[in-house]
C-alpha cells in the first residue's frame, strides 16, 4: 500500500464520509451496525487517522455505491451517479454485540442511548431481518427454562434484543432493576396502574423456582429492549456417545 500524505488522508476521509452520508447513513454508527464493521477502526478511516487498505476500500465502495477510484482519488461522480454502481442493500454477515447479563456498566450505557462497545460479537449470516439497534444477551441460568412452555430459554442460548422496541404484554424483555446485581431477562406482564397513572409491571420467570420482580413507581426499573429471536447452538455428542440405531 502506498504512503499517503496527511492531506491525501484527509481528502480520502472526506470522500468516505460524503459517500456514507449520500448512501443514507447519517451517522457512522448506522453504517457500522448495518455492515458489521468495527466502529473504532472505521472512525479511524473516516477521521483520516489511518490509511484505508485496498481490501477495505473495496468493501466501503461497494457498501456506499461508489468506486474505489472515487474514494482514493476523487475520480468519477458521487454515490449512485456512476452507471452500474449501486450501494449494497444488505451485508452477507453482520456482527451483533454479545453481552452478559452481569455486564451492568455496558448495559447501563446502552439504556442511556449509547452504542454497544462490547468486544464480543455474534455473526448473523444471510438475509435475516435484524432490528436497527440490537444486541445478543447470553443466557446463563435456567430462570427462563420450562419444559411445558411453547418457548423456553436454555443456558447457552443467545437472545436477540431489539433496543428500540416498546414492550407489549407477553413479550420477553431485557430489564434493569436497581436492586438486582444483574440485568433481568423475563416475561413482561402488565398488572395494573398505580395512583399516579404509571403502569405496574411484573417481570415473570418461566421457571417457578425463580422470583417474579415488580417494577412500579415505588420499585423503579427500566425496560431496555424486547426479544426478537433465539439463537441456539446444539452440542452434538461424538459418534462413540450416540445411541445405535436399529
pLDDT of 240 over the 50 cut: no
Complete edge-to-edge strand list for the sheet that includes strand 184-193: 121-125, 93-100, 134-138, 158-162, 222-231, 172-176, 184-193, 199-204, 213-215
For residue range 15-42, what is the model confidence (pLDDT) as tens digits?
A: 999 999 888 888 998 888 888 788 888 9
Contacts of 87 (CB under 8 A, 6+ apart): 23, 24, 62, 63, 64, 65, 79, 80
For the chain, list the domains and their CATH numbers: 6-73 (1.10.260.40), 93-231 (2.10.109.10)
pLDDT of 245 over the 60 cut: no
Average pLDDT over residues 56-80: 78
> Which three three-digit cell numbers place residue 177?
432493576
- Predicted local distance difference test score (pLDDT) of residue 121: 79
Residue 57: φ, ψ to 5°: -60, -40
pLDDT of 135 over the 70 cut: yes
Average pLDDT over residues 216-220: 87
pLDDT bin (cut points 50, 70, 90) of residue 158 is very high
pLDDT of 235 over the 60 cut: no
Distance between CA 42 and CA 50 in Å, rounded? 9
Looking at every residue in the chain, the average pLDDT score rounds to 83
For residue range 185-210, what is the model confidence (pLDDT) as tens digits?
A: 999 999 999 888 899 999 999 999 99
pLDDT of 81 over the 50 cut: no
Contact at 8 Å (CB) between 185 and 137?
yes
- Predicted local distance difference test score (pLDDT) of residue 82: 44
Do the strands 213-215 and 199-204 form a parallel or antiparallel pair, or are they unpaired? Answer: antiparallel
- Predicted local distance difference test score (pLDDT) of residue 118: 65
Amino acid at each position: 500500500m502506498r504512503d499517503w500524505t496527511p492531506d491525501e488522508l484527509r481528502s480520502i476521509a472526506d470522500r468516505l464520509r460524503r459517500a456514507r452520508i449520500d448512501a443514507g447513513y447519517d451517522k457512522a454508527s448506522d453504517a457500522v451496525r448495518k455492515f458489521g464493521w468495527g466502529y473504532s477502526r472505521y472512525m479511524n478511516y473516516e477521521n483520516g487517522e489511518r490509511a484505508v487498505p485496498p481490501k477495505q476500500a473495496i468493501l466501503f465502495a461497494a457498501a456506499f455505491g461508489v468506486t474505489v477510484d472515487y474514494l482514493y482519488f476523487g475520480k468519477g461522480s458521487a454515490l449512485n451517479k456512476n452507471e452500474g454502481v449501486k450501494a449494497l442493500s444488505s451485508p452477507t454477515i453482520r456482527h451483533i454485540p454479545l453481552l452478559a447479563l452481569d455486564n451492568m456498566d455496558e448495559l447501563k450505557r446502552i439504556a442511556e442511548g449509547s452504542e454497544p462497545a462490547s468486544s464480543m460479537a455474534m455473526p448473523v449470516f444471510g438475509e435475516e431481518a435484524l432490528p436497527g439497534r440490537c444486541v445478543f444477551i447470553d443466557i446463563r441460568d435456567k430462570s427462563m427454562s420450562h419444559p411445558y412452555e411453547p418457548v423456553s430459554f436454555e443456558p447457552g442460548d443467545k437472545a436477540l434484543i431489539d433496543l428500540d422496541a416498546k414492550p407489549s404484554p407477553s413479550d420477553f424483555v431485557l430489564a434493569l432493576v436497581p436492586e438486582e446485581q444483574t440485568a433481568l431477562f423475563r416475561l413482561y406482564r402488565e398488572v395494573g396502574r398505580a395512583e399516579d397513572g404509571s403502569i405496574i409491571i411484573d417481570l415473570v420467570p418461566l421457571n417457578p423456582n425463580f422470583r417474579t420482580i415488580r417494577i412500579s413507581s415505588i420499585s423503579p426499573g427500566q425496560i431496555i429492549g424486547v426479544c426478537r429471536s433465539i439463537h441456539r447452538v446444539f452440542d452434538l455428542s461424538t459418534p462413540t456417545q450416540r445411541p445405535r440405531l436399529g
